[in-house]
């Protein structure tokens, strides 16, 4: 599972420390989030507004469904499980929220109460219950939501055998994000432990709700604050940076299908240690080091002297938001100059400065950035300003051991691609792993598998010799190099992902 399941990952704490040291920033610059005055409909947050408009353009698109699945091993109290889920729904207004139009504008409508029923299916008597459960997980994940109707969260419990169950929770992204999944699972675990033993809820009431944040955000992000944020991003992106020329296997279709697939990616413990040490020597985080490697690899493929891609930011600078379920995550556009054939060490320094500046100005929603810059839309409806995403997330949630039950997160393999190319990594047990998600409209599986191999090879090379210049990076395997030497069409081989 991706995204934060703890308040901040070590990498993000390290980045925050560097940022505070460089900029002298303080969360105190932002006013506290008060409870909103009225209980009626409230405005959408800026992030919600973008997803709502996308849903109006393409109703029933399941690309923005956010799933999490748990394997439950042991004696399960299904009634306590359902009670726990409904207490989380009671605590978090956003889980009781639907969306309507009032006076021509979208609004959040919070139901005073909502009772969820967990769908149950017994697969124990079937020939291959595990395979059937995963088929059903994928099918339930793809079911669309109607944003105008409750609920925007659903739960399914599949019984595989007497002491083994799979629990699937799916929410629409408009009310949730990766961090929110961690909040949901922590609260459900604490509540289940209490309810299954006849104890009351151990959780304190929430000081604010997501609707309070949405009202506060619109009041805070205006005037001088908005102009300060916009001035930075206009300076970074206002001259319409060149689009990333990803060499693909297929031309972009006029209307993207949204279909995707993913390729596993793994880095050894030794390489992980070497990359961390390189970052420490250069005053850079692991995220910055891996990002510099990703941009260096894209430079090898595209020969572009500037590289624009995006990363996600939790965007929970206020302490009041850390324990909330809701859609807070923001996309930060990272533009890096690779001209002059720099060494990797020099590139890492450039990436470091770009990342620090971006995180110092992460409060500006991507939606507002697009509104003010008004970039041209790419063919096929690609996201404006960037086509590729790079993220270093927290490790997946470790197994939770209760008195009579063990909870393990199970990967739910989706088939949607919101971007052309996404590299998603996390550190677990001293090694880096993750996946590359890609649009099958553009790329073949073999192409992306080779991309993953080249990325690992490039990282090993620069970890050992950071003084290597980009033009001297040799990412070909012996087999690929031999193929190039035999080929009489070298220019074709150098121009794309395949060699």
CATH code (residue 53): 3.30.559.10
pLDDT at res. 37: 86
**Selection from 154, 187, 162, 164 nearest residue 68 by Cα:** 154
Question: Which H or E run contains 74?
Answer: strand 65-74
What is the per-residue pLDDT across 431-463, written as a single tens digit (0 to 9) for each?
999 999 999 999 999 999 999 999 999 999 999
pLDDT at res. 448: 97
Assess whether 176 and 247 both reside in one domain.
no
Interhelix angle 445-464/286-302, rounded to 10 degrees, is 120
Cβ neighbours, 10 Å, residue 83: 16
The mean predicted confidence, pLDDT, of the chain is 88
Residue 20 pLDDT exceeds 60:
no
What is the per-residue pLDDT across 48-102, written as a single tens digit (0 to 9) for each?
999 999 999 888 888 899 999 999 999 999 999 999 999 999 999 999 999 999 9
Any domain includes 135: yes
Give whole-number Cα distances, 76 to 71, 82, 164, in Å.
11, 11, 8
3-state secondary structure of 402: coil
Give whole-number Cα distances, 243 to 109, 446, 474, in Å.
39, 24, 25
Any domain includes 371: yes
Residue 323 pLDDT exceeds 80:
yes
Assess whether 203 and 322 both reside in one domain.
no
Assess whether 290 and 439 both reside in one domain.
yes
Any domain includes 232: no
Residue 361 pLDDT exceeds 70:
yes
Q: Confidence band (pLDDT; 50, 70, 90) for 489? A: very low
Q: Confidence band (pLDDT; 50, 70, 90) for 26? A: very low
**Selection from 358, 313, 302, 347 nearest residue 496 by Cα:** 302
Any domain includes 287: yes
The two three-digit tokens of residue 165, written as one number: 């169950």
Q: 16-20, 282-286, 345-349, 395-399: lowest mean pLDDT where?
A: 16-20
Which one-letter DSSP state was computed for residue 238? T
The two three-digit tokens of residue 404, written as one number: 């009579």
User: Which residues are 100's β-sheet partners?
Assistant: 107
Distance CA 189, CA 187 (A): 5
Assess whether 122 and 42 both reside in one domain.
yes
No. of H helices and E strands in the chain? 14, 15
**Selection from 388, 394, 362, 325 nearest residue 3 by Cα:** 394
The residue that leads in pLDDT, 28 or 257, is: 257
Q: Confidence band (pLDDT; 50, 70, 90) for 117? A: very high
The two three-digit tokens of residue 79, written as one number: 């009634």
Any domain includes 231: no
Assess whether 254 and 183 both reside in one domain.
no
The total number of structural domains that make up the chain:
2
Any domain includes 20: no
Q: Confidence band (pLDDT; 50, 70, 90) for 476? A: confident
pLDDT at res. 495: 47
Q: Confidence band (pLDDT; 50, 70, 90) for 47? A: very high
Residue 5 · residue 181 · CB < 8 Å: yes
Residue 381 pLDDT exceeds 60:
no
For 168, the domain range is: 31-213
Residue 331 · residue 362 · CB < 8 Å: no
Beta-carbon contacts of 19 under 8 Å, excluding residues fewer than 6 positions away, are: 25, 356, 359, 360
The two three-digit tokens of residue 335, written as one number: 């533009």
Mean pLDDT of 1-11: 44
Residue 488 pLDDT exceeds 70:
no
Mean pLDDT of 285-300: 97
CA angle 433, 438, 444 (to 5 degrees): 110
pLDDT at res. 18: 59
pLDDT at res. 313: 92
The residue that leads in pLDDT, 488 or 92, is: 92
Residue 147 pLDDT exceeds 80:
yes
């Amino acid at each position: 599972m991706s995204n934060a399941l703890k308040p901040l990952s070590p990498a993000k704490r390290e980045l925050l420390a560097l940022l505070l040291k460089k900029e002298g920033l303080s969360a105190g610059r932002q006013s506290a989030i008060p409870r909103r005055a009225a209980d009626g409909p409230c405005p959408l947050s800026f992030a919600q507004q973008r997803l709502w408009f996308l849903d109006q353009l393409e109703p029933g698109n399941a690309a923005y469904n956010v799933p999490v699945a748990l394997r439950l091993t042991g004696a399960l109290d299904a009634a306590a499980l359902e009670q726990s889920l409904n207490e989380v729904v009671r605590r978090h207004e956003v889980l009781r929220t639907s969306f309507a139009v009032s006076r021509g504008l979208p609004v959040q409508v919070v139901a005073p109460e909502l009772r969820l029923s967990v769908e149950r299916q017994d697969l124990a008597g079937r020939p291959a219950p595990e395979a059937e459960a995963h088929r059903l997980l994928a099918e339930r994940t793809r079911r669309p939501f109607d944003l105008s109707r409750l609920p925007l969260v659903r739960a399914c419990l599949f019984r595989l055998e007497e002491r083994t169950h799979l629990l699937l929770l799916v929410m629409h992204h408009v009310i949730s994000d990766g961090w929110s999944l961690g909040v949901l699972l922590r609260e459900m675990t604490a509540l289940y432990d209490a309810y299954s033993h006849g104890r009351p809820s151990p959780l304190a009431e929430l000081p604010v709700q997501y609707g309070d944040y949405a009202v506060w955000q619109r009041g805070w992000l205006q005037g001088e604050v908005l102009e300060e944020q916009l001035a930075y991003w206009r300076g970074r992106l206002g001259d319409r940076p060149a689009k990333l020329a990803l060499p693909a296997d297929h031309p972009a279709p006029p209307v993207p299908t949204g279909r995707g697939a993913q390729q596993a990616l793994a880095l050894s413990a030794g390489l992980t240690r070497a990359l961390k040490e390189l970052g420490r020597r250069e005053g850079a985080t692991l995220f910055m080091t891996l990002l510099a490697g990703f941009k260096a690899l894209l430079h090898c493929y595209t020969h572009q002297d500037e590289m624009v891609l995006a990363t996600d930011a939790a965007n929970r600078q206020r302490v009041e938001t850390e324990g909330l379920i809701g859609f807070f995550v923001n996309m930060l556009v990272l533009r890096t100059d690779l001209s002059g054939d720099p060494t990797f060490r020099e590139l890492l320094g450039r990436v470091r400065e770009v990342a620090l500046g971006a995180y110092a100005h992460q409060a500006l929603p991507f939606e507002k950035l697009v509104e003010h810059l008004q970039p041209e839309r790419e063919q096929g409806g690609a996201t404006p300003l960037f086509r590729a995403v790079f993220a270093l997330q927290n490790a997946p949630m470790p197994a939770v051991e209760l008195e009579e039950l063990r909870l393990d997160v199970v990967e739910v393999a989706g088939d949607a691609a919101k971007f052309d190319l996404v590299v998603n990594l996390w550190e677990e047990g001293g090694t880096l792993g993750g996946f590359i998600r890609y649009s099958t409209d553009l790329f073949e599986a073999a192409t992306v598998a080779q991309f993953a191999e080249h990325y690992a090879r490039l990282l090993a090379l620069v970890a050992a010799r950071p003084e290597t210049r980009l033009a001297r990076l040799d990412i070909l395997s012996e087999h690929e190099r031999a193929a190039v030497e035999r080929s009489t069409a070298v220019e074709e081989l150098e121009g794309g992902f395949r060699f």
